[in-house]
Each structure stands twice: as C-alpha cells, then as structure tokens.
Amino acid sequence: MSAHDLPDRETMECDVVIVGAGPAGLAAAIRLKQIDPALSIIVLEKGSEVGAHILSGAVVDPTGINQLLPGWLQDESHPLRTPVTDDHFCYLTAKKAYNISQKLFPNLLSNEGNYVVSLGLVCRWLAKKAEALGVDIFPGFAVTEVLFGKHNEVIGVATGDMGVKKDGKPGRNFIRGIELKAKYVLVGEGARGSLTKKLIGHYQLNQNCAPQKYGLGIKELWEIDPKYHKAGSVTHSVGWPLNYQTGGGGFIYHMQSNLVSVGFVTHLDYKNPYLSPFHEFQRFKAHPAWRNLFKGAKRICYGARTISEGGWQSVPKLTFPGGALIGCAAGFVNLPRLKGSHNAVLSGMNTAKYIAQALAAGRSHDEVVEIEDSWRSSAIGQDLYPVRNVKPLLSKLGSTIGLPLSYIELWCQSVLKFSIFGTLKHSKPDCESLQPASKHRRIRYPKPDDDITFDILSSVFLTNTHYEDDQPCHLKVKSLEVQDQSERAVFAGPSTRYCPAGVYEWVEQDGRDTYIINAQNCIHCKTCDIKDPNGNIDWECPQGGDGPNYANM
C-alpha cells in the first residue's frame, strides 16, 4: 500500500524530541529541564519500557552522573550499589589464567571509584528523574523516519505505523505513526542506530572521519553460590579463546545479591568467517579459572549488543541542521577502559547545554555547531584522545604485538601525554575484514553442557523477546542473490554464526539453499547491519515495543 492511500499522520509538537531512552537521551532530557523547566521535551523509546533494550557489562564511571545529579548518593533509590572492590586483569591460555597486577597499569585504566551496575536499572532511575522534571517518555514507539523541512533541515521525526501485516497491508488494529515536530532532534539510539545511519548518509556526516569500528558484546546474568561471590569484584581477560588475529576479551563483574554479570566482547573486524562470537563466549565461561562460579548455578538472563569502538578517529560530525547525535550513536566508548556510558551522559549534558542556549536565543532547526566544535576539548575528548591508538594497533597488528604496544602507548599517553604513533587510522569498515571461507578452517566449538554452556535458542529464550507475529520482516536483505552467491558461496554463511540470536539460517528447501530469516529471534544487537560482507543487510526498526525485554541487564 503506498503512502498515498494511508490516512494522514497526526502531529504533535514540542521543543526537543529525543530518540532513545538510554543514558545519553535521558541525560539530555534531564539537563534540558534543569536549565529551563518550561521546555517541552519528548523522549521516544522503541523498547516496551525504559531498559528493555539496554544491555551493558557494566562498570560505570560516575563522573557523568556526578555532574548531572549532584547528591545522588543521598537518593535512596539510586542503583549504583556496588562499588568496585577488586580489579583483576588476566591473560588466558586454554588452561591457565595469568594475572597481571593493577599496579602495572596506567591510572587511566583504574576502576577505583567506579561502580558495578545494571545499566538498565540506571536508565530506569534516570527515567524517573526525567519524568519528575516533566519530561514525557513514551516507550513502545519506534522512530522510523526523519522529517525534513524545505531547506533540508530536520524538523522532527515520525514513529512507525503499527498493526501492519506481513504483506505490508494494514491489519485490523492498524494505527498510523505520529509526526513529532520539534525545534531540535537529538538522536541517542546507541551503537549503529538505524535513524543515525540514515542521518549520517543524508548529511555525509562521516566524510571526514574514519570508518566506525565495532565489537559485539554478549552477556549473561547469573545467580551463583554465595561462597564464590564477592560483590564489587571485577575481572577482565584477554587471550584465549580468541587467537592473535581477533580482538576481544571477557569480563566477569560481581554485583549485589549473588548476581554475576559475565560476558565476552568480540571485535567485529575479525577475518575468519567461521568465527562464532556466541560460542567464543560460551567456552570462555568454561575456563578452569572460573568454571566453578557457573557450575550448578542459575543463568537468569542473556543478551547481546554491539559496541562502537572506533573512538576519537571515528566520531562523525555530530551536528546537522535541526539536531545532533549523542552518546554511542556518535561513538564515545573508551575501548581500553571498556566504558562508554559516562561519556554518553556527558554528551547528553553538553548537547543539552548548547541546545538550551540556542532555544533561549530564539533559534530552531539550525545547526548548533557549538556542539560539534566543543566535544574534542571537553571531558569526552580528554577521555578518548589518550586511548585513540589502541584499536588501530590491535586491528593492524593483531593482539600478540598489538596488546603490548597498546600497553606502552597507554603509558606514554598517561605520563608523557604524547604518542609515538601520532594518530593512527582505522583502515576499513568491519564488513570488509571478512575473508573468504577458503582461507580459513572451520572452528570446532564444544557442544553445550547445559550447565555452564548453552545453545543459542535457549539463550534467546531468556531475553524475553517478543514480536507481533504478523508484521513485515524488519531485517531487509537488499539482494537475496548476493546473499546466495557471496554470503553463502564465498563466505560460508557467516550470518549463521555472527548473529547471537540464531536469526539467520541457510536451509535446503526444495533442493535449493534458502536463506531463512527468523526475525522473531532478533535481539536488536545490529551485528548483521555491521558485519554482512556486502553491506547487504539493513537493520530497520520493527514495530514499537517489539524485541527483547531485558530485566536488570
């Protein structure tokens, strides 16, 4: 059905519309209201509730929250209950874990003063603060369209239609999306946002920056035996199960109530199409150093999300006429610290400051260049600049050489404030690193033992993922021919391995290899959008409210 046959959309107006109720979006909303309580702020969130699509390790640097909500420690409802007590770093081989003392690391990697949190709970807390200030948050609404004015400026956004059937026609409960017109639009969709992708393309925001680089973080929440639990204990690992060619590492964070957050990040510029980040994570848990934590314990939740890792060099131009990118949508994760939410909060706050100034001066729909011009000299820039060469060193040289060099580089930056490498470039986007299957050998991953390690489908089960059944597939494959002739024939179907939710399958049907897309398993990690070797998959928003329902992740 063409757009002409559909009824017109209703319009709502406000001062600022924010896409995404993550740390950046909520921080921006709170800050805007703190500066000018009279502003009308609307936050739209595609998850069914705030936190439903939020997933992170996480060890949080409270610097952003300290500035946003001074005195938060006295707030009874705050969720930052677990200060970091021990910090371990180890290098793994298949059988051993070699601990490397914290004293050998530069200060910028220290976790002193940081907290182990559920980022989902932090967002829910921020959402309550925002609502108390009069921000309107609407979960269950996916923003699918940018609205442009006559001069190529952004004048608002539109939410998707709901109740559209698989064949694209309106179903019985069809309702039209809504247009939200605003003086400024802030986009905080997190890494590889779908609207962000459209805006970057439309305004060529990435013409002067390096390609963004990503990692796929997969995580589980476990309830373990108290005798192994130590609240505030933080462990990071590198090495096994990945080899020198692939970047990444694992983490184990102990939270309150015998809960442990365990996860693994695989850098998505890996070469071997037979690699399965899910299986690397599963076998990581079985390492002798900590398998006892998980043996006989209870796995509560599972989830995955990509992380923007490009850092300083990959941040696109933040501003466009009528709005800005904030948080991980821009890409402010500090890779060696494995933290990004602090910068997301700072990004939301700084952006809010300049937007509020612009609004007070009677401006609207213009480019608030102050946002773009200021970030590099701000706290965000000061956080990202010293670590800018770590990712390129790892990508170009592999971990055997890259890790030690990064170590030296970080010490140089920390003490001498200077790098012998200048600013290294990221060579290519992650999808181009994949090599043909003929150059690699299949990896034999161990079978799940249903005690410490599990299969993909029973993992997806724990994400509480739900989709309206009769809706168009939100994973758009541009050309099925290309999938068959390249993704399958040349690369041996990497999507069947990189997707942490078992969405993609190559199945023989009627004598032909058919690409099956189990869209109802999708947990919104965006890996397919990033890693398909031909950029042949576009991740678009499914119906608002659909997808995972993470609890405390």
Partner 1 sequence: MTTLLYADHNGQSLAPQTARALTAALKIDPCVDILICGNNIAAICDDAAKLAGVRKVLKAEADSLFHQLAEPVSQTIVSLAPQYDVIISAASANGKNIMPRVAAQLDVMQISDIVDVVSADTYKRPIYTGNAIATVQSLDDKKVITVRATAFLPAAVGGNAEIMAIKPAAIPAMAEFTGEDLIESDMPELTNAKTVIAGGRALGSSEQFTSVLMPLAKKLKAAIGASRAAVDAGYAPNDWQIGQTGKVIAPDLYIAIGISGAIQHVAGVKDSGFIVAINKDSEAPIMKIADVSLVGDLFTVVPELVKAL
Partner 2 sequence: MKILVCVKRVIDYNIKVRVRADGSGVDLNNVKMSINPFDEVAIEEAVRQKEAGKASEIIALSIGAKAAKETLRTALAMGADRAILVECEQEIEPLHVAKIVKKIVEEEKPDLVFLGKQAIDDDANQTGQMLAALLNWPQATFISKLELSDKTADATREIDGGTQKLSLRLPAIITTDLRLNEPRYASLPNIVRARKTPIEEKAVADFNIDLQPHLVTLKVEEPAKRPATVSVDNVADLIAKLKEANIL
Q: Which residues bind partner 1 (CB under 8 A)?
A: 455, 457-458, 460-461, 466-467, 469-470, 507, 509-510, 516, 518, 520
Which of partner 2, partner 1, none does residue 413 bind (CB under 5 to 8 Å by kind)?
A: none
275, 433 contact by CB (below 8 A): no
Nearer to partner 2, 185 or 431 (CB): 185
Give 279-319 as a DSSP string.
Answer: HHHHHHHT-TTTHHHHTT-EEEEEEEEEEE--GGGG----E
**CB 183, min distance to partner 1, A:** 41
**CB 175, min distance to partner 2, A:** 5
Q: Return the residue matching tokens 């939301």.
A: 348
**CB 408, min distance to partner 2, A:** 43
57, 94, 110, 245 from 288: Cα distances, Å: 22, 8, 26, 23
Which residues lie below 8 Å from residue 9, measured CB to CB, with a gap of 6+? 158, 176, 177, 178, 179
Nearer to partner 2, 12 or 443 (CB): 12
**CB 369, min distance to partner 1, A:** 48
398: left (phi over 0), alpha (psi -120 to 50) or beta: left
Residue choice 63, 357, 435, 464 for contact with partner 2 (CB under 8 A): 464
Nearer to partner 1, 105 or 467 (CB): 467
**CB 112, min distance to partner 2, A:** 28
Nearer to partner 2, 147 or 265 (CB): 147
Nearer to partner 1, 5 or 450 (CB): 450
**Does position 282 bind partner 2 by CB under 8 A?**
no
- d(CA 345, CA 60) in angstroms, rounded, equals 11
Nearer to partner 1, 235 or 520 (CB): 520
Which of partner 1, partner 2, none does residue 358 bind (CB under 5 to 8 Å by kind)?
A: none
Which of partner 1, partner 2, none does residue 52 bind (CB under 5 to 8 Å by kind)?
A: partner 2
- d(CA 33, CA 437) in angstroms, rounded, equals 53
CB atoms closer than 10 angstroms to residue 466: 14
**CB 520, min distance to partner 1, A:** 7
Region from 57-65, 169-177, 389-397, 437-445 binding partner 2, contact rule CB under 8 A: 169-177
Helix axes 341-360, 23-35, angle to 10 degrees: 40
What does the per-residue mask of binding to partner 2 show for 49-88, with x meaning CB under 8 A? x--x------------------------------------
Amino acid at 98: Y
Residue choice 35, 83, 102, 136 for contact with partner 2 (CB under 8 A): 136
**CB 457, min distance to partner 1, A:** 4
CA nearest neighbour of 414 among 387, 380, 377, 392: 387
**Does position 163 bind partner 2 by CB under 8 A?**
yes
265, 524 contact by CB (below 8 A): no
Nearer to partner 2, 141 or 214 (CB): 141
Residue choice 373, 461, 485, 507 for contact with partner 2 (CB under 8 A): 461
Burial of 357 (0-12, 13-18, 19+ CB in 10 A): middle
Region from 239-247, 309-317, 460-468, 495-503 binding partner 2, contact rule CB under 8 A: 460-468
**Beta strands in 255-404, from DSSP E residues, in sequence order:** 259-267, 298-308, 319-320, 323-325
Residue choice 2, 74, 77, 173 for contact with partner 2 (CB under 8 A): 173
Which of partner 1, partner 2, none does residue 525 bind (CB under 5 to 8 Å by kind)?
A: none
- For residues 494-553, which are near partner 2 according to CB under 8 A? 549, 551-552
Nearer to partner 2, 49 or 383 (CB): 49
Give 88-145 as a DSSP string.
Answer: EEEEE-SS-EEEE-GGGS-GGG--TT-EE--HHHHHHHHHHHHHHTT-EEEET--EEE
Task: Tell me which H or E stretch contains 60.
Answer: strand 59-60
Which of partner 1, partner 2, none does residue 159 bind (CB under 5 to 8 Å by kind)?
A: partner 2
Region from 168-176, 233-241, 307-315, 513-521 binding partner 2, contact rule CB under 8 A: 168-176
Residue choice 333, 462, 522, 525 for contact with partner 2 (CB under 8 A): 462
399, 244 contact by CB (below 8 A): yes
Overall residue count recorded for the chain in this entry: 553
Q: Would you call the peptide bond into 23 cis, given omega within 30 degrees of 0 as the criterion?
A: no
Of the chain, the end-to-end C-alpha distance in Å amounts to 39
Q: Return the residue matching tokens 């995580």.
A: 219
**Does position 124 bind partner 2 by CB under 8 A?**
yes
- d(CA 118, CA 174) in angstroms, rounded, equals 36
**CB 475, min distance to partner 1, A:** 14
Region from 86-94, 167-175, 314-322, 406-414 binding partner 2, contact rule CB under 8 A: 167-175
Which spans of this chain sit near partner 2 (rule: CB under 8 A)? 10, 12, 48-49, 52, 121, 124, 136, 138, 141, 159, 162-163, 172-173, 175, 178, 223, 298, 300, 461-462, 464-466, 549, 551-552
